[in-house]
Amino acid sequence: MLCRGRDDRTPGPRPHAPPADLGTLRDMRISVSSDMDEPVARSLVAELRARGHAVVTHGALNPESDPQWAACSAAAAREVADGTADQAVVCCWTGTGASIAANKVPGVRAALCTDGYTADGARRWNDANVLALSLRLTSEPLLKEILDAWFAGEASDDAEDRENVARIGRLDLREP
């Protein structure tokens, strides 16, 4: 199915679906990076901890870490790739640089999400394991919406979606 704008594959909450149990994804280890110590970055760390996750910080959120967006985003993504973190959230002013840097790490599928629908689609169709956020565009209410959708989202079982994710893995190996 090539069109993503129709039927039950449209991202976001389904009209008759029961609310997601966000408690099922508790106790994850999440690596967080930000190149600036902005209020939304601090809110992100606090929100993840309030949801029961262990948080490891990089960049401007950790005085012992390199705050440059390429360095701290790659550090957070490497923890996902090597299995020391379940997922990561990488942040920079636009979110673009952080997502590019994270995606250079083999095994990482980072998605820049600006709303809950995008976050749900990234988890569902792309099996994204790193969330990229814009420090400029993400308000605290929007942050919670994105996190709700991200953690409620599950990878699709659809064969086409799984093949696309497998193809991304082959691209990491420089295979067609």
Q: Residue 42 domain-assigned?
A: yes
For the stretch 1-58, pLDDT in tens is 333 333 333 444 333 233 344 444 568 999 999 999 999 999 999 999 999 999 999 9
Q: Residue 78 domain-assigned?
A: yes
Q: Residue 164 domain-assigned?
A: yes
Q: Which is the catalytic residue, given 3, 72, 91, 92?
A: 92
Comparing 175 with 161, which gets the higher pLDDT?
161
Answer yes or no: 72 catalytic.
no
Q: Residue 97 domain-assigned?
A: yes
Name 142's Cβ contacts closer than 8 Å, sequence gap at least 6: 114, 115
Q: Residue 138 domain-assigned?
A: yes
In the chain, the number of structural domains is: 1
For the stretch 69-96, pLDDT in tens is 999 999 999 999 999 999 999 999 999 9
Distances (CA, A) of 41 to 7, 64, 149, 153: 35, 17, 18, 22
Averaged confidence pLDDT in the chain = 88
Paired tokens of 12: 């976001």
Q: Residue 137 domain-assigned?
A: yes
Instruction: Report whether pLDDT(141) > 50.
Output: yes
Q: Residue 64 domain-assigned?
A: yes
Cross-strand pairs, 58:
33
Which residues constitute the domain of residue 127? Answer: 27-172
Using an 8 Å Cβ cutoff, are 139 and 40 in contact?
yes
CATH number at residue 97: 3.40.1400.10
Q: Residue 173: its pLDDT value, please?
A: 87
Q: Residue 51 domain-assigned?
A: yes
Query: CA-to-CA distance for 115 and 132, rounded, in angstroms?
Result: 11
Q: Which residues of 88-103 are buried (b: 16+ CB within 10 A; e: fewer)?
A: bbbbbbbbebbbbbbb
